[in-house]
Amino acid sequence: MPVRHDPILTEALAARIGARWGERGALGLVLDPERRRAALRFRDSPALVFLLHPEDGGYLLPRERVFTGAEFEFRDLRLVEASSPPDERLLRLDVGPAPDRPRFRIVAELHTNQWNLLLLRLPEGEIEHVLWSRRPGERVLETGAEYTPLASDREGREEPVSPDRWRELLGRTEPGQRRGPALRSMAWLSSVNVDWVLDADSLEGTYRRYRELWEVRRAADDPEAGEARVLECPWGAQPYPHPLGREDASRSDDLLEAMTAAARRDGVLGELDADETAVREADAEPPDPEMVELASALRGRVEEIESRRESLRRELEEGPDPDELRTVGSLILSRKDGLSKGDELVRLEGFDGEEREVELDPRLSPSENADRYFERARRRERAANRLPGEIASVEDRLERVREALERAEEAVESGDAALSDERIEELWARAGGRPDEGAEGEGEGGRKPYRVLQTSGGLEVRVGKSAKSNEELTFHHSHTEDIWLHARQVAGSHVILRWGRKDANPPRDDLLEAAIAAAVNSKARHSGSVAVDWTRRKYVRSPRKSPPGAVIPQQHETVFVRPDEEIVERMQARAREPDAAGGR
């Protein structure tokens, strides 16, 4: 089960990392985008490994050995600062020749199910490398883009709020309904610690616990104050710098040791050890490309289902109390003579004699606002009855897909070629279907080594089916002036856009649709944005003694597209029409 990172945990991690590796020589950053993991290597010291794939749990671990991957080397640089901005789940590691001259910044974004790591070039802040290219909201997390950090707007980021402000924010809310307002408005509170804070026997007691968390923050600056706990939580083993009242919390000497203990308990270390051993086996057979693609699709499916489950859980846990909504509706009706259309925030005397603030929609009359609260209460009750069943259904589906993923990964690791066609199709079905079934067609030599699509402009697109068929498609089923496309730096299909003209490039829309097909038929199909390289087929070469499908484009251009399976499905449907792509 994944670790839940929150601002207090992230800040404590930054302090511990700074105490352990600060001023040590940094050798390089190893990146494995497929598994969303990275390792910061140091001279004469264990590496700091980031396991940021949802299946790997979000652990940060010191490791003597690291996995293989692309490495960005540092020359004569060291870790000069480790920090975390106030009330954020962002870890920043600055690398440079001196504290006042950082050249690179490693940023780990530790938001649940969105874990990511970026290497920024300073002082510009341009993204040099990113584990998971995506576009969350208005931010662009892609190579070459300017990095926009997250920023909290909750109260009490720099100093704790006063007792009076605490009472003002939470005192008007019933004890059982304070969780949502506290999480929305109060810095440093999170799903990890808020229940402990609010479980005190009085409002003053909750404030004392809140201030106790601030003492944990201050202690994080002391390198000697590194004691941490591993908490037994509903979601699994949780490293944390405070016991949060849990009698079953086990002690660790420091937070990184607690991380290691939690990872060991969740079985992550055994998997990592096995993986590190496997990649060092010189005689290992290359995995079946289809099984690699299938495992990648299943991992993406697991992420989608986990995200859906977390969304449903939040809706169930953090939704408003229907009785409270009805109370507000009744209060508005009883005081409607003193209200008018256009009111937005009013103070009304409650039925208990206490004054309370009530939000109104200024476009509605008082009676309509009351009806709105009553309707929200009914919807909330319906949701409370519906959501547990939906969550159970999603968890059941998640378990089935995880089992399918485990079988696919076993096949990849072992080179198992004994899976039946029926079993493979069943696994693909659990992954949401094959990326593209295409129109295969039959030729004089049997089945063609590619699937056929058609752009909205009527051009034929050919998509390779495997490493071997990629090579056949590129060098035996294309014209030298056709357009060759491939998703950059990830495994995937070769794509040929049939063109054949020397005097002009294909229309932009057709080129982008072919690039989308290349993105969808690659391991980056679940990314928010994919870089796709394209060139004339005549500029593509196969190096001597290279494995099937390994090519080098001697010159190319790049387009960025968002993988869209619906667009590929429409291209596939056009290709299946009787008169589509005539003459192929």
pLDDT band at 584 (very low <50, low <70, confident <90, very high): very low
* DSSP label at residue 549: T
3-state secondary structure of 117: strand
Does 421 have pLDDT greater than 90?
A: no
- Cβ neighbours for 246, distance < 8 A, ≥ 6 positions apart: 229, 231, 232
- Cβ neighbours for 265, distance < 8 A, ≥ 6 positions apart: 230, 236, 237
> Is 493:436 a contact under the CB 8 Å cutoff?
no
Residue type, 65: R
d(CA 35, CA 51) in angstroms, rounded, equals 8
**What is the average pLDDT score of the chain?**
84
Give the residues across from 29 on adjacent strands. 40, 72
Mean pLDDT of 368-390: 89
Does 241 have pLDDT greater than 90?
A: yes
So what's the pLDDT on residue 196?
Answer: 95
pLDDT band at 106 (very low <50, low <70, confident <90, very high): very high
pLDDT band at 416 (very low <50, low <70, confident <90, very high): low
So what's the pLDDT on residue 226?
Answer: 56
State how far the alpha carbon of 427 is from the alpha carbons of 176, 295, 405, 439, 451, in Å. Answer: 44, 9, 8, 21, 20
Does 578 have pLDDT greater than 80?
A: no
Higher-pLDDT residue of 502, 381: 381
d(CA 317, CA 332) in angstroms, rounded, equals 26
Q: What is the pLDDT of residues 35-83, one digit of tens each?
A: 899 999 999 899 999 999 888 889 999 998 888 777 888 888 999 999 9
Mean pLDDT of 101-115: 91
So what's the pLDDT on residue 268?
Answer: 81
Residue among 191, 170, 166, 185 nearest 89 (CA): 191
Beta strands in 217-330 (DSSP E): 228-233, 236-240, 250-252
What is the torsional sign of CA 169, 172, 176, 180? Answer: negative
CA angle in degrees (0–180, nearest 5) for 54-55-59:
75
Higher-pLDDT residue of 154, 422: 154
Give the residues across from 231 on adjacent strands. 238
> Is 542:554 a contact under the CB 8 Å cutoff?
no
pTM score > 0.75 for this model?
Answer: no
pLDDT band at 520 (very low <50, low <70, confident <90, very high): very high
Give the distance, in angstroms, between the CA of residue 36 and the centroid of all CA atoms in the same chain. Answer: 9
So what's the pLDDT on residue 536?
Answer: 92
Whose tokens are 């068929």? That residue is 469
Does 446 have pLDDT greater than 50?
A: no
Neighbours of 1 (CB within 10 A): 14
Residue among 526, 517, 531, 523 nearest 561 (CA): 531
Beta strands in 294-391 (DSSP E): 345-349, 355-359
Cis peptide before 33 (omega within 30 of 0): no
Q: Read out DSSP for 424-442? A: HHHHHHHTTS-S------E
Which of 150-154, 197-201, 213-217, 552-556 comes out lowest in average pLDDT? 552-556
Mean pLDDT of 131-139: 86
pLDDT band at 283 (very low <50, low <70, confident <90, very high): very low
Token code pair at residue 488: 């950059």
Start-to-end CA distance of the chain, whole Å, equals 50
- The backbone torsions φ and ψ at residue 117, rounded to the nearest 5 degrees and listed phi first, read -140, 135
pLDDT band at 440 (very low <50, low <70, confident <90, very high): very low
Mean pLDDT of 219-241: 78
3-state secondary structure of 187: coil
Does 438 have pLDDT greater than 60?
A: no
Residue type, 562: R
Which of 219-228, 245-254, 303-312, 565-574 comes out lowest in average pLDDT? 219-228
d(CA 556, CA 540) in angstroms, rounded, equals 9
Mean pLDDT of 163-169: 93
Tally the C-alpha atoms within 13 A of residue 192's C-alpha that lie toward its C-beta: 26
Give the residues across from 462 on adjacent strands. 452, 496
Does 437 have pLDDT greater than 50?
A: no
pLDDT band at 85 (very low <50, low <70, confident <90, very high): very high
Higher-pLDDT residue of 563, 425: 563
So what's the pLDDT on residue 290?
Answer: 67
d(CA 214, CA 189) in angstroms, rounded, equals 10
Mean pLDDT of 542-568: 79
CB environment 132-148: b (16+ within 10 A), e (fewer): bbbeeeebbbbbebebe
For helices 7-21 and 255-265, what crossing angle results, to 10°? Answer: 110
Rg (CA), the chain: 28
